């Protein structure tokens, strides 16, 4: 059954046995990730977004999840999802499904500027605000989403190129210092990082705002220059080029005008990732970033794709239930997702080359649970 909608996608009800790989997934891992969402759902119901997936309807399955043990086994976890949810395949009205990967970088840094660590990550300026629907946008580029509030009006915040040239210097906004602008750039793209300090401590930083300029994929610049094809322009190839071409790297990175600011965040559980946009810690391999304007946070989503294996040309099926817990500037569209792979270089190696077609099926809460006790 395909349901009529004015949203940018249709939802077609399907049966669980039509989800390739559903029976073989690790439902216990998906349940643990959803249970992290459950406490947040009950504390603050997620807003229903443009795909019309009812955030309030998540209350009942969240209650049920918290009444069960976090150590629920696979068969019981599968029964939980089948009892409380029904699958609805996302059929975008334009384009096709697409999935990428992201991770939490782990780098060396210093709380003070030194010759080895000259490049800052900045904390949020007091005057930086997200532009609201009632704000006066006079004089602002219509595409801006954040701005500075100065003398009672909104003005454009310095973009990446301006900040790299020193636009925020002298304001005491430096949170931590890194080795290079390339390292900082990829932390900006990922939105978080763990920073190993000289005394052995680990500092975590997380997203706390942005300049408001539109995100621009700088790999496009290198493709336009004929330096690589679109298929070759994966994140690891891009980073290698930037590091090998320092004289050109600054200008290329500045093409992405969006500049991110951070805050220090705790590391309560080293096995989990940073706090996501949905205000729960990310679970490696189970948290999915989605378009926050379309997808209601905390919805379970079954992702079907194939990822590259270790040998050339090898494709490995990826059939996994994930939870919509995060978002990103480049994650746009109803059938678009970004898989969180974890922290550090091993996670980077997995995430960097993920740019694949994918099919997404959201599990929406049933009006009434079915079967089971």
The per-residue pLDDT for range 331-353, each reduced to its tens digit, is: 999 999 999 999 999 999 999 88
Please indicate, yes or no, whether residues 341 and 224 belong to a single structural domain of this protein: no
Grade residue 312 by pLDDT with cuts at 50, 70 and 90: low
* pLDDT of residue 28 exceeding 80: yes
Please indicate, yes or no, whether residues 327 and 354 belong to a single structural domain of this protein: yes
Residue 230, both tokens: 């679109």
Give the pLDDT confidence score for residue 88 in this predicted structure: 97
Q: Find the helix packing angle between 235-244 and 181-190, rounded to 10°.
A: 160
SS3 per-residue string spanning 164-219: HCCCCCCCCCEEEEECCHHHHHHHHHHCEEEEECCCCCEEEEEEEEECCCCCCCCH
Please indicate, yes or no, whether residues 111 and 254 belong to a single structural domain of this protein: yes
In a domain? residue 371: no
The DSSP annotation for 94-147 comes to SS--EEEEEEE-EEE-BSS--SS--EEEEBPPTTEEEPPTTS--TTS-TT--EE
Of the residues 231, 265, 299, which one is the last residue of a structural domain? 265
pLDDT tens for residues 347-371?
A: 999 998 899 999 999 999 999 998 7
What is the domain count for the chain?
Answer: 2
pLDDT tens for residues 239-271?
A: 999 999 999 999 999 999 999 999 999 877 888
- 90-104, 202-216, 232-246, 310-324: segment of lowest average pLDDT: 310-324
Q: Which domain holds residue 195?
A: 103-265
Give the pLDDT confidence score for residue 367 in this predicted structure: 92
Q: Which CATH number is 352's domain given?
A: 2.40.40.10
Of the residues 250, 265, 280, which one is the last residue of a structural domain? 265
Q: Element (H or E) spanning 327, and its range?
A: strand 315-327
User: Strand pairing of 315-327 and 287-290?
Assistant: parallel
Please indicate, yes or no, whether residues 204 and 282 belong to a single structural domain of this protein: no
pLDDT above 90 coverage of the chain, percent: 86
- Please tell me the distance from the alpha carbon of residue 290 to that of residue 326, in angstroms, as a whole number: 6
Please indicate, yes or no, whether residues 298 and 233 belong to a single structural domain of this protein: no
pLDDT above 70 coverage of the chain, percent: 97
Please indicate, yes or no, whether residues 256 and 304 belong to a single structural domain of this protein: no
* pLDDT of residue 184 exceeding 50: yes
* pLDDT of residue 111 exceeding 90: yes
Q: Which residues contact 356 (CB under 8 A, 6 or more apart)?
A: 98, 99, 305, 306, 307
Please indicate, yes or no, whether residues 41 and 121 belong to a single structural domain of this protein: no
Give the pLDDT confidence score for residue 5 in this predicted structure: 44
**What does the pLDDT average to over 319-332?**
94
DSSP 16: G
In a domain? residue 3: no
* pLDDT of residue 1 exceeding 70: no
**What does the pLDDT average to over 185-192?**
95
Of the residues 265, 300, 329, which one is the last residue of a structural domain? 265
**Mean of pLDDT over the chain:** 93
DSSP 271: T
Please indicate, yes or no, whether residues 148 and 297 belong to a single structural domain of this protein: no
Please indicate, yes or no, whether residues 36 and 152 belong to a single structural domain of this protein: no
Please indicate, yes or no, whether residues 56 and 204 belong to a single structural domain of this protein: no
Please indicate, yes or no, whether residues 138 and 218 belong to a single structural domain of this protein: yes
Please indicate, yes or no, whether residues 181 and 62 belong to a single structural domain of this protein: no
* pLDDT of residue 6 exceeding 70: no
Q: Which residues contact 182 (CB under 8 A, 6 or more apart)?
A: 239, 242, 243, 249, 253
């Amino acid at each position: 059954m395909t349901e009529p909608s004015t949203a940018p996608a249709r939802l077609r009800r399907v049966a669980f046995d039509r989800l390739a790989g559903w029976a073989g997934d690790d439902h216990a891992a998906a349940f643990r990730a959803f249970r992290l969402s459950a406490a947040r759902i009950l504390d603050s119901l997620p807003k229903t977004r443009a795909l019309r997936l009812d955030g309030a309807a998540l209350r009942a399955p969240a209650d049920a999840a918290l009444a069960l043990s976090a150590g629920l086994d696979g068969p019981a976890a599968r029964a939980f999802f089948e009892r409380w949810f029904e699958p609805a395949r996302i059929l975008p009205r334009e384009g096709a499904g697409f999935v990428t990967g992201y991770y939490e970088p782990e780098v060396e840094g210093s709380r003070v500027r030194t010759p080895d660590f000259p490049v800052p990550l900045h904390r949020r300026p007091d005057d930086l605000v997200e532009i609201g629907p009632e704000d006066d946008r006079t004089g602002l580029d219509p595409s801006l989403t954040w701005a500075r509030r100065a003398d009672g009006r909104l003005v454009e915040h310095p973009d990446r190129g301006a900040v790299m040239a020193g636009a925020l210097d002298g304001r005491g906004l430096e949170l931590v210092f890194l080795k290079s602008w390339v390292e900082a750039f990829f932390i900006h793209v990922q939105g978080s990082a763990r920073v190993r300090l000289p005394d052995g401590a680990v500092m975590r930083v997380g997203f706390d705002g942005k300049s408001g300029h539109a995100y621009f994929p700088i790999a496009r610049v290198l493709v336009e220059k004929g330096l690589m094809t679109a298929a070759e322009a994966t994140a690891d190839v891009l980073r290698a080029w930037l590091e090998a071409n320092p004289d050109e790297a600054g200008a290329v990175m500045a093409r992405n005008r969006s500049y991110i600011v951070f805050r220090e965040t705790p590391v309560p559980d080293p096995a989990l990732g940073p706090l996501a946009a949905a205000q729960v810690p990310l679970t490696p391999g189970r948290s999915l970033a989605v378009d926050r304007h379309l997808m209601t946070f905390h919805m379970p989503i079954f992702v079907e794709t194939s990822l590259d294996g270790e040998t050339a040309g090898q494709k490995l099926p990826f059939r996994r239930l994930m939870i919509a817990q995060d978002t990103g500037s480049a994650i746009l569209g109803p059938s678009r997702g970004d898989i969180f792979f974890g922290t550090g270089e091993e996670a980077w190696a997995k995430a960097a080359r993920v740019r694949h077609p994918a099919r997404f099926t959201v599990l929406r809460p049933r009006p009434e649970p079915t079967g089971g006790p």
